[in-house]
Amino acid sequence: MWNNNYFSLEKKAPIVAMGVAFFLAVTKFIVWIISGSVALLSSAMDSLLDTWVSIFNFFAIKFSQNPADEDHPYWHWKIEGIAATIEWTIITWSGIYIVYEAINKILNPEPISYLTWTLVVMAISIIATWWLVYFLSYVYKKTNNLVIKWDSIHYKMDLYTNLAVIITLSIIYIIPSLSWIDWVVWLLIGLYIIHEAWELIKDGIDLLLDKALDEHEKVKEIIDKFLKEWKFESYHCLKTRAGGSKDKFVEFHFVMNPKTTILEAHDLWDEIENEIKKLDSDANWHIVWHVDPYDDSKTNWCK
Protein backbone atom coordinates (compact mmCIF):
# COMPACT_ATOMS: atom_id res chain seq x y z
CA MET A 1 0.00 0.00 0.00
CA TRP A 2 1.33 3.46 -0.90
CA ASN A 3 2.34 5.81 1.86
CA ASN A 4 -0.11 8.71 1.48
CA ASN A 5 2.46 11.28 2.60
CA TYR A 6 5.07 10.12 0.10
CA PHE A 7 2.65 9.40 -2.72
CA SER A 8 0.41 12.47 -2.55
CA LEU A 9 -2.19 13.12 -5.24
CA GLU A 10 0.37 15.33 -7.03
CA LYS A 11 2.94 12.53 -7.08
CA LYS A 12 0.46 9.82 -8.07
CA ALA A 13 -0.57 11.81 -11.17
CA PRO A 14 2.76 11.46 -13.08
CA ILE A 15 2.96 7.78 -12.06
CA VAL A 16 -0.47 7.15 -13.61
CA ALA A 17 0.56 9.18 -16.69
CA MET A 18 3.78 7.16 -16.99
CA GLY A 19 1.86 3.86 -16.91
CA VAL A 20 -0.61 4.97 -19.57
CA ALA A 21 2.12 6.42 -21.82
CA PHE A 22 4.32 3.30 -21.57
CA PHE A 23 1.41 0.99 -22.39
CA LEU A 24 0.52 3.08 -25.46
CA ALA A 25 4.16 3.30 -26.59
CA VAL A 26 4.64 -0.47 -26.53
CA THR A 27 1.32 -1.11 -28.30
CA LYS A 28 2.04 1.46 -31.03
CA PHE A 29 5.58 0.20 -31.66
CA ILE A 30 4.34 -3.37 -32.10
CA VAL A 31 1.69 -2.35 -34.64
CA TRP A 32 4.07 0.09 -36.39
CA ILE A 33 6.53 -2.78 -37.05
CA ILE A 34 3.86 -4.63 -39.03
CA SER A 35 2.09 -1.62 -40.59
CA GLY A 36 4.84 0.83 -41.54
CA SER A 37 2.70 3.90 -40.77
CA VAL A 38 4.74 7.08 -40.27
CA ALA A 39 1.87 8.45 -38.22
CA LEU A 40 1.98 5.47 -35.88
CA LEU A 41 5.78 5.58 -35.57
CA SER A 42 5.64 9.28 -34.70
CA SER A 43 2.86 8.65 -32.21
CA ALA A 44 4.83 5.75 -30.64
CA MET A 45 7.91 7.95 -30.27
CA ASP A 46 5.77 10.63 -28.70
CA SER A 47 4.32 8.13 -26.20
CA LEU A 48 7.81 6.91 -25.32
CA LEU A 49 8.92 10.47 -24.66
CA ASP A 50 5.76 10.99 -22.60
CA THR A 51 6.86 8.09 -20.39
CA TRP A 52 10.21 9.74 -19.64
CA VAL A 53 8.59 13.14 -19.14
CA SER A 54 6.20 11.66 -16.57
CA ILE A 55 9.08 10.00 -14.71
CA PHE A 56 10.92 13.32 -14.68
CA ASN A 57 7.78 15.15 -13.52
CA PHE A 58 7.42 12.79 -10.56
CA PHE A 59 10.89 13.70 -9.29
CA ALA A 60 10.37 17.39 -10.12
CA ILE A 61 7.24 17.45 -7.95
CA LYS A 62 8.95 15.44 -5.20
CA PHE A 63 11.95 17.79 -4.96
CA SER A 64 9.93 20.99 -5.41
CA GLN A 65 7.96 20.08 -2.29
CA ASN A 66 11.03 19.76 -0.10
CA PRO A 67 10.70 22.12 2.90
CA ALA A 68 12.78 25.23 3.37
CA ASP A 69 16.26 24.69 4.78
CA GLU A 70 19.22 26.81 5.82
CA ASP A 71 20.52 27.12 2.26
CA HIS A 72 17.08 27.46 0.62
CA PRO A 73 14.92 29.60 2.94
CA TYR A 74 12.36 30.22 0.15
CA TRP A 75 11.65 26.52 -0.39
CA HIS A 76 12.38 24.68 -3.65
CA TRP A 77 9.36 25.72 -5.74
CA LYS A 78 11.42 27.03 -8.66
CA ILE A 79 12.25 23.44 -9.57
CA GLU A 80 8.80 23.59 -11.22
CA GLY A 81 10.11 26.30 -13.57
CA ILE A 82 13.20 24.23 -14.35
CA ALA A 83 10.92 21.24 -15.04
CA ALA A 84 8.93 23.31 -17.52
CA THR A 85 12.12 24.27 -19.37
CA ILE A 86 13.27 20.65 -19.63
CA GLU A 87 9.80 19.47 -20.69
CA TRP A 88 9.73 22.20 -23.36
CA THR A 89 13.09 20.91 -24.67
CA ILE A 90 11.84 17.32 -24.88
CA ILE A 91 8.57 18.27 -26.59
CA THR A 92 10.32 20.59 -29.06
CA TRP A 93 12.79 17.88 -30.08
CA SER A 94 9.99 15.35 -30.47
CA GLY A 95 8.27 17.84 -32.81
CA ILE A 96 11.50 18.29 -34.78
CA TYR A 97 11.90 14.52 -35.08
CA ILE A 98 8.35 14.14 -36.36
CA VAL A 99 8.94 16.85 -38.99
CA TYR A 100 12.18 15.11 -40.05
CA GLU A 101 10.50 11.70 -40.32
CA ALA A 102 7.58 13.12 -42.28
CA ILE A 103 9.90 14.84 -44.80
CA ASN A 104 11.93 11.64 -45.10
CA LYS A 105 8.77 9.65 -45.94
CA ILE A 106 7.59 12.27 -48.43
CA LEU A 107 10.94 11.90 -50.26
CA ASN A 108 10.98 8.10 -49.86
CA PRO A 109 7.35 6.95 -49.76
CA GLU A 110 6.45 3.49 -48.48
CA PRO A 111 3.06 1.75 -48.59
CA ILE A 112 1.00 1.48 -45.40
CA SER A 113 -0.37 -1.93 -44.51
CA TYR A 114 -2.47 -3.41 -41.70
CA LEU A 115 -4.55 -0.26 -41.49
CA THR A 116 -7.28 -1.98 -39.51
CA TRP A 117 -4.90 -2.79 -36.64
CA THR A 118 -3.45 0.70 -36.79
CA LEU A 119 -6.91 2.25 -36.52
CA VAL A 120 -7.75 0.02 -33.55
CA VAL A 121 -4.55 1.03 -31.73
CA MET A 122 -5.21 4.74 -32.34
CA ALA A 123 -8.81 4.39 -31.11
CA ILE A 124 -7.49 2.84 -27.87
CA SER A 125 -4.91 5.62 -27.64
CA ILE A 126 -7.58 8.34 -27.97
CA ILE A 127 -9.73 6.80 -25.23
CA ALA A 128 -6.75 6.35 -22.86
CA THR A 129 -5.36 9.84 -23.53
CA TRP A 130 -8.77 11.49 -23.08
CA TRP A 131 -9.13 9.80 -19.69
CA LEU A 132 -5.60 10.85 -18.72
CA VAL A 133 -6.24 14.50 -19.67
CA TYR A 134 -9.43 14.44 -17.59
CA PHE A 135 -7.55 12.93 -14.61
CA LEU A 136 -4.63 15.37 -14.80
CA SER A 137 -7.03 18.35 -15.12
CA TYR A 138 -8.83 17.10 -12.00
CA VAL A 139 -5.54 16.82 -10.07
CA TYR A 140 -4.48 20.32 -11.19
CA LYS A 141 -7.76 21.82 -9.98
CA LYS A 142 -7.26 20.09 -6.61
CA THR A 143 -3.58 20.96 -6.16
CA ASN A 144 -2.85 23.95 -8.44
CA ASN A 145 0.50 22.31 -9.20
CA LEU A 146 2.11 23.86 -12.28
CA VAL A 147 3.93 20.66 -13.28
CA ILE A 148 0.58 18.85 -13.38
CA LYS A 149 -0.87 21.72 -15.42
CA TRP A 150 1.91 21.45 -17.99
CA ASP A 151 1.55 17.68 -18.14
CA SER A 152 -2.20 18.09 -18.74
CA ILE A 153 -1.54 20.53 -21.60
CA HIS A 154 1.09 18.17 -22.99
CA TYR A 155 -1.29 15.21 -23.08
CA LYS A 156 -4.04 17.41 -24.49
CA MET A 157 -1.69 18.02 -27.43
CA ASP A 158 -1.31 14.25 -27.71
CA LEU A 159 -5.07 13.84 -27.78
CA TYR A 160 -5.36 16.26 -30.69
CA THR A 161 -2.55 14.55 -32.59
CA ASN A 162 -4.09 11.12 -32.01
CA LEU A 163 -7.37 12.41 -33.39
CA ALA A 164 -5.50 13.71 -36.44
CA VAL A 165 -3.87 10.31 -36.93
CA ILE A 166 -7.11 8.35 -36.80
CA ILE A 167 -8.84 10.78 -39.19
CA THR A 168 -5.89 10.57 -41.59
CA LEU A 169 -5.72 6.78 -41.50
CA SER A 170 -9.49 6.51 -41.89
CA ILE A 171 -9.25 8.54 -45.10
CA ILE A 172 -6.46 6.27 -46.36
CA TYR A 173 -8.49 3.21 -45.37
CA ILE A 174 -11.39 4.42 -47.54
CA ILE A 175 -9.25 5.86 -50.37
CA PRO A 176 -5.85 4.03 -50.46
CA SER A 177 -4.53 6.31 -53.20
CA LEU A 178 -4.40 9.16 -50.68
CA SER A 179 -1.66 7.52 -48.59
CA TRP A 180 0.53 10.63 -49.03
CA ILE A 181 -1.85 12.42 -46.63
CA ASP A 182 -0.24 10.42 -43.77
CA TRP A 183 3.09 12.20 -44.24
CA VAL A 184 1.67 15.65 -44.94
CA VAL A 185 -0.57 15.63 -41.85
CA TRP A 186 2.30 14.58 -39.63
CA LEU A 187 4.50 17.31 -41.03
CA LEU A 188 1.81 19.78 -39.92
CA ILE A 189 1.42 18.03 -36.54
CA GLY A 190 5.18 18.24 -35.92
CA LEU A 191 5.10 21.96 -36.59
CA TYR A 192 2.04 22.29 -34.33
CA ILE A 193 3.84 20.52 -31.45
CA ILE A 194 6.86 22.83 -31.79
CA HIS A 195 4.54 25.87 -31.71
CA GLU A 196 2.63 24.64 -28.65
CA ALA A 197 5.88 23.87 -26.83
CA TRP A 198 6.74 27.58 -26.94
CA GLU A 199 3.40 28.37 -25.33
CA LEU A 200 4.09 25.73 -22.68
CA ILE A 201 7.37 27.25 -21.51
CA LYS A 202 5.86 30.66 -20.75
CA ASP A 203 4.63 29.71 -17.26
CA GLY A 204 8.00 28.19 -16.41
CA ILE A 205 9.89 31.34 -17.42
CA ASP A 206 7.40 33.52 -15.51
CA LEU A 207 7.99 31.45 -12.37
CA LEU A 208 11.78 31.58 -12.69
CA LEU A 209 11.72 35.34 -13.30
CA ASP A 210 9.27 36.06 -10.46
CA LYS A 211 6.49 37.48 -12.58
CA ALA A 212 3.95 39.56 -10.64
CA LEU A 213 0.84 37.75 -9.41
CA ASP A 214 -2.38 37.84 -11.42
CA GLU A 215 -3.85 39.49 -8.30
CA HIS A 216 -1.25 42.29 -8.34
CA GLU A 217 -3.69 45.01 -9.39
CA LYS A 218 -6.30 43.79 -6.90
CA VAL A 219 -3.72 43.95 -4.11
CA LYS A 220 -2.97 47.52 -5.17
CA GLU A 221 -6.70 48.37 -5.10
CA ILE A 222 -6.99 47.03 -1.54
CA ILE A 223 -4.05 49.12 -0.33
CA ASP A 224 -5.43 52.18 -2.16
CA LYS A 225 -8.75 51.69 -0.39
CA PHE A 226 -7.10 51.67 3.02
CA LEU A 227 -4.92 54.62 2.03
CA LYS A 228 -8.10 56.63 1.53
CA GLU A 229 -9.88 55.33 4.65
CA TRP A 230 -6.99 55.49 7.10
CA LYS A 231 -5.37 58.53 5.55
CA PHE A 232 -1.78 57.31 6.00
CA GLU A 233 0.81 59.16 3.96
CA SER A 234 1.50 56.81 1.03
CA TYR A 235 3.04 53.46 0.10
CA HIS A 236 5.63 52.25 -2.39
CA CYS A 237 7.78 49.29 -3.46
CA LEU A 238 4.76 47.02 -3.99
CA LYS A 239 6.03 43.68 -5.27
CA THR A 240 4.22 40.38 -5.76
CA ARG A 241 5.32 36.97 -6.98
CA ALA A 242 4.36 33.31 -6.91
CA GLY A 243 6.38 30.82 -4.92
CA GLY A 244 4.98 27.68 -6.51
CA SER A 245 1.64 25.91 -6.52
CA LYS A 246 0.18 27.49 -3.39
CA ASP A 247 2.53 30.16 -2.05
CA LYS A 248 2.04 33.83 -2.93
CA PHE A 249 4.33 36.63 -1.79
CA VAL A 250 3.47 40.32 -1.31
CA GLU A 251 5.74 43.05 0.02
CA PHE A 252 5.45 46.83 0.20
CA HIS A 253 6.41 49.91 2.24
CA PHE A 254 4.05 52.21 4.15
CA VAL A 255 4.86 55.85 4.74
CA MET A 256 3.17 56.72 8.04
CA ASN A 257 3.07 59.72 10.29
CA PRO A 258 5.84 59.28 12.89
CA LYS A 259 3.24 59.96 15.57
CA THR A 260 1.26 56.83 14.58
CA THR A 261 1.25 54.34 17.46
CA ILE A 262 2.38 50.75 17.09
CA LEU A 263 -1.15 49.63 17.96
CA GLU A 264 -2.66 51.76 15.15
CA ALA A 265 -0.12 50.44 12.64
CA HIS A 266 -0.80 46.87 13.81
CA ASP A 267 -4.58 47.24 13.42
CA LEU A 268 -4.14 48.68 9.92
CA TRP A 269 -1.85 45.83 8.97
CA ASP A 270 -4.29 43.18 10.19
CA GLU A 271 -7.12 44.63 8.12
CA ILE A 272 -5.06 44.89 4.94
CA GLU A 273 -3.64 41.39 5.38
CA ASN A 274 -7.10 39.87 5.87
CA GLU A 275 -8.43 41.61 2.76
CA ILE A 276 -5.53 40.42 0.60
CA LYS A 277 -5.91 36.82 1.81
CA LYS A 278 -9.54 36.85 0.66
CA LEU A 279 -8.32 37.15 -2.96
CA ASP A 280 -7.39 33.46 -2.82
CA SER A 281 -8.41 31.64 0.33
CA ASP A 282 -6.63 28.45 -0.78
CA ALA A 283 -3.22 30.10 -1.15
CA ASN A 284 -0.47 30.37 1.46
CA TRP A 285 0.02 34.13 1.59
CA HIS A 286 3.34 35.58 2.76
CA ILE A 287 2.75 39.31 3.24
CA VAL A 288 5.61 41.51 4.41
CA TRP A 289 5.46 45.24 5.01
CA HIS A 290 7.87 47.88 6.17
CA VAL A 291 6.96 51.16 7.87
CA ASP A 292 8.81 54.31 6.74
CA PRO A 293 8.65 57.75 8.36
CA TYR A 294 9.25 59.28 4.92
CA ASP A 295 9.05 58.31 1.23
CA ASP A 296 12.27 56.58 0.15
CA SER A 297 10.83 55.20 -3.09
CA LYS A 298 13.45 57.01 -5.17
CA THR A 299 16.23 54.80 -3.89
CA ASN A 300 17.70 52.49 -6.51
CA TRP A 301 16.84 49.22 -4.79
CA CYS A 302 13.16 50.12 -4.77
CA LYS A 303 12.80 50.80 -8.48
Domains and CATH numbers, the chain: 9-208 (1.20.1510.10), 216-302 (3.30.70.1350)
H helices within the chain, ranges in order?
9-35, 38-64, 79-107, 115-143, 146-174, 181-208, 216-230, 262-277
The pairing of beta strand 234-242 with beta strand 284-292: unpaired
Average of pLDDT values for 70-94?
76
Judge whether residue 109 has pLDDT over 80.
Answer: no
pTM of the model: 0.67
92 CB-near residues (< 8 Å, 6+ apart): 193, 194, 197, 198
The pLDDT, as a whole number, for residue 115 is 67
Cβ atoms 20, 128 nearer than 8 A: yes
254 φ, ψ (degrees, to nearest 5): -100, 140
Instruction: Report the candidate in 244, 16, 200, 179 with the shortest Cα–Cα distance to residue 94.
Output: 200
Average of pLDDT values for 255-281?
85
Cβ atoms 149, 60 nearer than 8 A: no
Judge whether residue 157 has pLDDT over 90.
Answer: no
Average of pLDDT values for 188-194?
79
35 CB-near residues (< 8 Å, 6+ apart): 112, 113, 114, 115, 117, 118
Average of pLDDT values for 159-165?
78
Cα 208 from chain centre: 13
Judge whether residue 105 has pLDDT over 80.
Answer: no
Judge whether residue 3 has pLDDT over 60.
Answer: no
